[in-house]
Amino acid sequence: MSDGVYDMPEEPRRTSRTSGGRPRALLPTIATLIVLLILFSVFTDVWTQRLWYRSVDLGSVFSTVLGTRVLLFVVIGLLMAAAVVANIIIAYRTRPRVALAPSPSPGFERYGDLLQQRGKIAIGVIATLMLVFGGSAASGEWKVFLAWRNRTPFGVTDKHFNKDIAFFVFDYPWLRVLLGFGYSIVLLSLVAAIITHYLYGGFRPSAKGQKASGAAQVQFSVLLGLLVLLKAFSYWLDRYGLTTSDSRLFTGISYTGDNAVLPSKEILAVIAVLCAGLFFANVVRRTWLLPGVGTVVLILSAILLGALWPAALQQLRVRPSEPVREAPYISKNIEATRQAYDLEGTQVINYPAKSTATPSDLAGDAEVLPGIRLIDPSVVGPTFEQLQQVRGFYSFPTDLDVDRYKIGDKVNDTVIAVREVQVDRLPAGQRNWNNDHTVYTHGYGVVAANGNQRAADGTPVWSEKDLPPTGQLGKYEPRIYFGEQSPDYSIVGGPKGGQPVELDTPEGTNGGDPTLNTYTGKGGVPVGSFFNRLLYATKFRDANILLSSRVNPESKILYDRSPRERVEKAAPWLTPDGDPYPAIVDGQVVWIVDGYTTSANYPYSEKVALDDSTRDTTTGRGTIAQQPSEEINYIRNSVKAVVNAYDGSVELYAWDESDPVLKTWMKAFPDTVKPRSDISPALMAHLRYPEDMFKVQRDLLAKYHVQDSTTWYQNSDLWRVPADPTAVSAGADSSAQIKQPPFYLSLRMPGEDVPRFSLTSVYVPNAERENLTAFMAVDAEATSPDYGKFRILRLPGNVQIPGPGQVFNKFQTDEGIRTALLPINQPTSGARAQFGNLLTLPLGGGLLYVQPVYSVRTSGPGSYPVLRYVLVSFGERVAFGSTLSEALTKVFNTNVSTGEPTPNQPTTPNQPTPNQTVKQALAEAQAAYAAAQAALQAGNLGEYQKQVARMKTAIDRAVAAGNAPTPSTPSPSGAPTNTPSTPSTPAPSTAAPSSPPSSPTG
């Protein structure tokens, strides 16, 4: 018998037959067919991906990604397969002639005999498994490899290791990937060598005396030495990983990390190198004593230096004076966090937040008031659908979008949505393959409403409506083939002059038969050939694509149609915003998607969970997507992506051209991202500050508005985003504390000359209190020179200013408002009041809250919200009206448009009713009584007498109020307090309006 594994003798092959005389070829045939089906499925997926990328003129993205994945698969897979197979062959060739000890089981000998008889097959199977295992894992790291291969310097040097930030963002992750594959290759090789030596008697732990043959010792020593050497490299890399490690206080190197963990990693790396040398020396000395001693020393050192030393330093030196020890490291974390999240230009302004406003205060802000958005995009989706749906197969999203459009001479905040087709809404009798995939292929038109207006019946005032579309937004291509609710796939197009079959509109311009259309856009994948039809029939598991006569030589298939999905595929290195929004630009309906470049390796910057930071009451609702569950500590809105709603084309524009991560990916995928200068003025007018990035930044600013390390450590100025009070009122779990979403709103910040389209939010203290502590806005107009500038209005800490939850509570408990809403909320009315978004904006030196209230029928088809009232609050005053102007006039006792006092209004519009005074006085008396009892128990007689006097005063005030006559003056909200059953404002009707709405109801 030859010692070569490839010279193993094989038994003669015999052709065996079954009892029926048929060859035993059934199982191999089935196996072959299964393999062929798997290969064809893989080929189908790869080839259809290629066709999709070619259809959007991004074939280079496909070829780059595929080429990189194949390269990594082959290189890493072959390395792993070669290493494992080489160690098996070495172990087999160096097997002893006589086993060191008998085999513990006869089965092991049979395995050895089988390996000798089927050596080539066994080696081939193992090599294939290693190739697939290693290659598959490596191909998944293509982003890390491409980022490292095309890395761009940040131009900012890390202060601890004196390395450019690019090393941590690009180099360090790739080195970690290589280290991981190194571990896998050596460990699998060691396992393969141990098994092979065991099978052939070269390694027997049960043997008396020598446990392993000399050859086995040599092979094990080399592999173990390599493993320990990799551990030394891991210790060395861990030093850089400390810059993004999470400590109890912050992300980055702490005092203990700098003075204990960092030096311990360096010492352990040196010890590991020496230990590896002892294993390599064992190749010559053939004794396990020195490697064993070295391993014990390494383990003890890891325990003493890596665990006990840092713990002792933290407990004995850091804890007693933690603010002093950690101060420089906290400062470094604050600086890096503000850099990584683009917060360095944040401006914090002390704002008095006055509770009263004079006519002169209001006069300066009079031009802002008409632009306050009253139409809530998260509420009026059903209104859009009922009044502008036209047919049941059209739909609008649950949450609409806010944009700006110039109508006449003014730019207005506009609530906008696209009318999309949903085949799931077709009647059952109309559901068939032809209708689903070749007739109902696209939506039609845009619907828009002025954000600050309502019709007399409470419905929106349309700036674009009906079918075919009419309005003030100009002419545009109305067909929507690519949208957020498009069918999974559609077959469109046809020969020139052929009969159209795609439904355009249910009726013509002047009524009559439906109008039909044939798609002529450049988007879509041709499926005229038999080969492509076969591919897509396989991809969608639908034989109709192959068999239907509707598929003609000019047909195209449209799929992967949502804007977010198309951007993810076109730029797989981007994280798209969760809420794409439509806009009419240069005669086309387009979807605008903000794209983010992110990293989790920016040194010293605080890590956040992307999904948690961006989650609020709108996340995951309707078409608003939730961000992936991953940690980041760097983000930039680097790209503005535009998806054409008609032809599906994807355009990527560089927005933050200074971003090194964007530059890196532009080198990896050249000519896929256009320069910012290519953005047309029409498109620029509709770009805005992105929501998800704002949510991440507002989460960070809740703590990182503080730049003093001592204050930061004490958490004495920590803020939080309040819970959305309207979500709780709508039936959400109050314990969930879902954050209030930010709001797009046109407002003028203090010191500015004109109102600007902004993205706004508020903060409350991190304690259990709900009073307001700050208001924040970022300039969201892309054309503004201050675009992206954060301004925080910091409110005085010695004044109690109500927050959103408290204001919402005031709205719900105010007698005038409760009386006005009583007819709506009565069970017999068949309706209920629905509160809209609670907006906050600076006005007249204070803060104004505005909230629309809708009436919606609770049962029956065709129900939709109708705007009935507008609630406002300023300081301690609340009021309501059927219009914003009416509500503001009541709350300020001033005509806000002229600044003149309103006649026949009380000078103290917030004067409480006698019942309210009695309740307040008795509550104060009860509190004084409790305080007096506590003072008496503590032996503080002076405080006891003070509280008793306070209690007597409160009781006297209650008695006086109870004896006073009931006034007939209006309450703060404008309803008489002496006639709660008869509101001064006409109760909203829950029936259909007497006059037809201003748009078709469908």
DSSP string, 107-158: HHHHHHHHHHHTHHHHHHHHHHHHHHHHHHHHHTTHHHHHHHHT----S-B-
State the pLDDT at residue 914: 58
The rounded distance, in Å, linking the Cα atoms of 711 and 717 is 7
The SS3 call for residue 846 is: strand
Give the mean pLDDT of 921-945: 72
Contacts of residue 78, defined as CB under 8 A and 6 or more positions apart, other chains included, come to 131, 135
Lowest mean pLDDT of 243-247, 428-432, 476-480, 895-899, name the range. Answer: 895-899
pLDDT of 820 > 70? The answer is: yes
Question: pLDDT-based confidence at 986, cuts 50/70/90?
Answer: very low
C-beta separation of 811 from 836 below 8 A: no
Lowest mean pLDDT among 194-198, 685-689, 907-911, 997-1001: 997-1001
> Is residue 221 scored above 70 in pLDDT?
yes
Q: Indicate the pairing of strand 347-350 with strand 790-794.
A: parallel
**Does residue 308 register a pLDDT over 50?**
yes
CB burial string 21-46: b at 16+ within 10 A, e below: eeeeeeeeeeeeeeeeeeeeeeebee
**What distance in Å separates the CA atoms of residue 306 and residue 860, rounded to the nearest whole number?**
68
**Residue 929 confidence (pLDDT):** 78
Neighbour-count burial for 279-307, b at 16+ CB within 10 Å, e otherwise? bbbbeeeeebeebeebbeebeebbeebbe
pLDDT confidence tier of residue 496, bands split at 50, 70 and 90: confident
Does pLDDT of 976 surpass 90?
no
699 versus 6: the higher-pLDDT residue is: 699
Q: How confident is the model at residue 31 (pLDDT cuts 50, 70, 90)?
A: confident
Q: Which pLDDT score, from 0 to 100, does residue 752 have?
A: 85
Give kind and range of the element (H or E) at residue 958: helix 941-963
Token reading at 710: 């001592």
- Give the whole-angstrom CA distance, residue 496 versus residue 488: 26
pLDDT at 857: 86
Q: Please report which confidence band the pLDDT of residue 990 belongs to, taking 50, 70 and 90 as the band edges.
A: very low
5-12 mean pLDDT: 42
Name beta bridge partners: 631. 609
Phi, psi of 660 (to 5 degrees): -65, -30
pLDDT at 987: 37
**Alpha-carbon span 381 to 370, nearest angstrom:** 23
Residue 538: phi and psi, rounded to 5, are -70, -45
Cα–Cα distances (Å) from 753 to 358, 365, 367, 748, 839, in that order, read 20, 10, 11, 7, 21
What is the distance between the alpha carbons of residues 506 and 508, in angstroms, rounded to a whole number? 7
Rounded Cα distance between 727 and 639, Å, is 32
Is residue 724 scored above 60 in pLDDT? yes
Question: Which residue from 267, 264, 297 is spatially nearest to 279, judged by alpha carbons?
Answer: 297
Higher pLDDT, 336 or 978: 336
pLDDT tier for residue 991 given thresholds of 50, 70 and 90: very low
Tell me how far apart the alpha carbons of residues 146 and 130 are, in angstroms, rounded to a whole number.
Answer: 24
Assign 690 a pLDDT band (cuts: 50, 70, 90).
very high
Asked if pLDDT for residue 530 goes beyond 90, the answer is yes
Q: Residue 684 has what pLDDT?
A: 96
Q: Tell me the average pLDDT across 431-452.
A: 94
Q: Mean pLDDT throughout 384-408? A: 90
The pLDDT score that the predictor gives to residue 394 is: 92
Rounded to whole angstroms, the Cα distance separating 470 from 928 reads: 66
Fill in the amino acid letter for 366. A
pLDDT tens, 100-117? 777 666 666 666 666 777
Residue 438 has pLDDT above 60, yes or no: yes
Give bridge partners of residue 407 from the DSSP assignment.
410
Query: What average pLDDT does the segment 162-187 reach?
Result: 97
The pair phi, psi for residue 450, each rounded to 5°, is -65, 130
**Stretch 330-359: mean pLDDT:** 90
**Best mean pLDDT range from 206-210, 434-438, 928-932:** 434-438
Tell me which of 760 and 112 has the higher pLDDT: 760
Residue 992 has pLDDT above 60, yes or no: no
pLDDT score for 1: 39
pLDDT digits (tens, 9 = 90+) for 538-596: 999 999 999 999 999 999 999 999 999 999 999 999 999 999 999 999 999 999 999 99
Q: What is the pLDDT of residue 22?
A: 55
| Average pLDDT in the chain | 86
Residue 876 confidence class, pLDDT cut points 50, 70, 90: confident
Q: What pLDDT was estimated at residue 234?
A: 97
Q: Between 538 and 926, name the one with better pLDDT.
A: 538
Torsion on CA atoms 131, 133, 135, 140, rounded to nearest 10: 170
- Residue 732 scores a pLDDT above 60: no
**pTM of the entire structure?**
0.85
pLDDT one-digit tens code per residue, 826-862: 777 778 899 999 999 998 888 999 999 999 988 777 7
What percent of the chain clears pLDDT 70, i.e. is strictly above it? 86
Query: What residue has token string 């806009």?
Result: 583
* Residue 350 burial (C-beta neighbours within 10 Å; 0-12, 13-18, 19+): exposed
> 209 vs 32, which has greater pLDDT?
32
Query: Token pair for residue 196?
Result: 């092979």
For residue 892, what pLDDT band results from cuts at 50, 70 and 90?
Answer: confident
| Window from 24-33, 437-446, 940-949, 973-982 with minimum mean pLDDT | 973-982
Q: Is 109 left (phi over 0), alpha (psi -120 to 50) or beta?
A: alpha
Beta-carbon contacts of residue 377 (< 8 Å; ≥ 6 apart): 399, 400, 401, 402, 415
For the cut 60, the answer to whether the pLDDT of residue 995 exceeds it is no
Distance from C-alpha of 375 to C-alpha of 633, rounded to nearest angstrom:
36
- State how beta strands 410-418 and 401-407 pair: antiparallel
Cα distance from N-terminal residue to C-terminal residue, the chain: 89
**Does the structure show a pLDDT above 80 at 967?**
no
pLDDT higher than 60, residue 988: no
CA distance 803 to 811: 12
Percent share of the chain, pLDDT over 90: 61
Q: What is the pLDDT of residue 190?
A: 96
Q: What is the pLDDT of residues 265-275, one digit of tens each?
A: 999 999 999 99
What does the angle CA 27 – CA 28 – CA 30 come to, to the nearest 5 degrees?
A: 65
**For residue 16, what pLDDT band results from cuts at 50, 70 and 90?**
very low
Q: Which helix (H) or strand (E) holds 82?
A: helix 59-93
Contact 36, 29 (CB under 8 A): no
pLDDT for 462 beyond 90: yes
User: Exposure pattern of 202-222 as b/e (b: 16+ CB <10 Å)?
Assistant: bbbeeeeeeebbebbbbbbbb
Residue 918's pLDDT is what? 66
- Compute the average pLDDT of residues 181-186: 96
